[in-house]
Amino acid sequence: MVLNAAKPVDQNPLQLEDIPLPVPGTGEVRIRVQVCGVCHTDLHTAEGDITPPKLPIVPGHQVVGIVDAVGPGTSEYREGDRVGVPWLYSTDGVCAYCRRGQENLCESARFTGFDVNGGYAERVIVPTSSVYPIARSFREENAAPLLCAGVIGYRSYRLSGIRTGERLALFGFGGSAHIVLQIARFFECEIFVFTRSDAHRQLAKRLGASWVGSSEESPGELADSAIVFAPAGGLVLKALEATRKAGTVALAGITMSDIPAMPYSLIYGERVLRSIANSTRQDVHEFLELAAEIPVQTTVQSFPLEQANEALQALKLSRIEGAAVLRVSF
């Protein structure tokens, strides 16, 4: 599925097209895509909220598939290996951010399905440094959301400063939040979920949330930390209101509507407001190990590849329970 020009998803911006079969170069592998997760970043790309360096582009960055060709000088993976590919595609390794261990902020970073063709296709080329083995305990459909929703959720959880046994508030409850809830419960945290969707509330309860409601309601107690997943700037104020002094509010989205003006009292008391940008390779390794240990159970809704537009439309309207996944091949 190719994006030639950004436009609202109800106008079907993705087109099914034949493109040349890619050939892996030195240090690269080619992957036969089995499934690819559908992410809000794909939605923002399709609608023009964020702009790829060039068009056309094949979106998709939560790829699970089988290595079917290996480039010269590549020994880490063999044909037949089942692997996953996340958002971070490559970094320069030499900039100030990379040298400080902050490769997620690399000035020359390239991202799967944004700078290079991604997983809404039958084949994808990836450098071996950004390929990860997938535990056999996960089915393909259930593994796909781990590669972005899970990884970004894990980084958001970690940088929120939440500690074992504390209270965590989640604003918005889609693919990432339903994984974070399971991470937090694994570490014995109490979870408050703020969401408008009745279906999302029911899923949150089944996964162990102690309170669910809308952002206009109150659980009656303050959280120690909060994570905002929904791309609505007004929720940042709600999250600050719901968080105790010295607590952190982490913003997990790649884009968000403007944050309204707010009284200083909302952030006073040494509250911290921070964004989460991309992820590192170490985040991916750590999270995939943790996900297998918990083990994380992803709730997915599958679509065939040719229905990618319909999947994005359902995502935009919050009609996906858990995460959406495109089935490309078997």
Say whether both 237 and 111 belong to one domain.
Answer: no
Say whether both 134 and 12 belong to one domain.
Answer: yes
Nearest to 58 by CA among 148, 4, 6, 118: 118
Q: What is the residue range of 212's domain?
A: 150-275
Q: What residues does 66 pair with on adjacent strands?
A: 32, 82
Say whether both 262 and 230 belong to one domain.
Answer: yes
Instruction: Tell me which of 234, 259, 275 is where a domain ends.
Output: 275
**pLDDT digits over 204-250, tens only?**
999 999 999 999 999 999 999 999 999 999 999 999 999 999 999 99
pLDDT (0 to 100) of residue 330: 83
Task: Identify the CATH number of the domain in which residue 315 sits.
Answer: 3.90.180.10
HEC string of the chain? CEECCCCCHHHCCEECCCCCCCCCCCCEEEEEEEEEEECHHHHHHHHCCCCCCCCCECCCCCEEEEEEEECCCCCCCCCCCEEEECCEEECCCCCHHHHCCCHHHCCCCEEECCCECCCCCCEEEEEHHHCEECCCCCCHHHHHHHHCHHHHHHHHHHHCCCCCCCEEEEECCCHHHHHHHHHHHHCCCEEEEECCCHHHHHHHHHCCCCEEECCCCCCCCCEEEEEECCCCCHHHHHHHHCEEEEEEEEECCCCCCCCCCCCHHHCCCCCEEEECCCCCHHHHHHHHHHHHHCCCCCCEEEEEHHHHHHHHHHHHCCCCCCEEEEECCC
Amino acid at 224: D
Say whether both 270 and 296 belong to one domain.
Answer: no
Say whether both 238 and 291 belong to one domain.
Answer: no
Say whether both 7 and 112 belong to one domain.
Answer: yes
Say whether both 111 and 232 belong to one domain.
Answer: no
pLDDT (0 to 100) of residue 309: 98
State how far the Cα of 215 lies from the Cα of 307, in Å rounded to an integer: 32
Q: Which residue has the tokens 């408008």?
A: 196
Q: How far is CA 14 from the centre of its chain?
A: 20
Nearest to 35 by CA among 151, 190, 181, 144: 144
Say whether both 270 and 155 belong to one domain.
Answer: yes
* Max CA separation in the chain (angstroms): 60
318-323-328 Cα angle (round to 5): 120
Amino acid at 248: T
- Two tokens, residue 240: 């600050």
Amino acid at 53: P
Say whether both 130 and 44 belong to one domain.
Answer: yes
Task: Identify the CATH number of the domain in which residue 257 sits.
Answer: 3.40.50.720
Say whether both 271 and 304 belong to one domain.
Answer: no
Say whether both 210 and 310 belong to one domain.
Answer: no
Say whether both 160 and 234 belong to one domain.
Answer: yes
Total domains in the chain come to 2
Residues of the chain with pLDDT under 50: none
Nearest to 130 by CA among 93, 183, 79: 93
State how far the Cα of 193 lies from the Cα of 213, in Å rounded to an integer: 7
Nearest to 326 by CA among 58, 18, 23: 58
